[in-house]
Amino acid sequence: MTEHDKLVAVGGAAPSVHWTEDGVAKSLAEECKHGPLVLAFYPLAFSPVCREDLRRLDEFANKWKARGVRVLTLSVDREVQAKRFLEFLGASALRPVGDPDLKIASQFGVSRSEGVAQRASVVVDTQGRVACAAVHELCFPRGLEALEGCVQELVKPGL
């Protein structure tokens, strides 16, 4: 059994998770009411692969923002460090969420025994259900094509 065999199930309800963002308590359930969310888990801020990964993700996130889709980035880093990392990258469409104790990563089934999160993507729809979920190779940036397809399905006109 690999570490990500417990990945959250597509079609099921997303875990009930809470975090603090800029000193304000947030919950996944409340955030989903405002549009679909992409949860982009990554191992560590300032690592070379994560730099490339999140720069590419920010390009997609800028396109998705106009369609009401928001992207939260989650790592073992504290919020202030994750925020500095995104500023360093010039990433304007990504929202950092610190998960230093891996509570959120664990609930989504993407924590690793080394004390970091897998490189993983989870899309949650406006009903709080998991629309798609994938674990990506740790040593390479995430493939964004499948993620793009999932987001497009959620924001089709008339849905």
The pLDDT tens digits for 106-157 are 999 999 999 999 999 999 999 999 999 999 999 999 989 889 999 998 887 6
Residue 106 covered by a domain: yes
Only one residue has tokens 């979920």, namely: 133
Range of the domain at 124: 3-141
Report pLDDT for 5: 55
Confidence of residue 159 (pLDDT cuts 50, 70, 90): very low
Per-residue pLDDT tens over the stretch 42-73: 999 999 999 999 999 999 999 999 999 999 99
The CATH number linked to 44 is 3.40.30.10
Q: Is the pLDDT of residue 3 over 90?
A: no
Query: What average pLDDT does the chain have?
Result: 92
List, as own/partner pairs, every contact residues 150-155 make where C-beta atoms lie below 8 angstroms and the sequence separation is at least 24, other chains included: 150/123, 151/36, 151/38, 151/60, 151/64, 151/67, 151/69, 151/123, 154/36, 154/69, 154/123, 154/125, 155/36, 155/64, 155/67, 155/68, 155/69
The number of distinct structural domains making up the chain is 1
Both tokens assigned to 107 = 């609930």
Residue 47 covered by a domain: yes
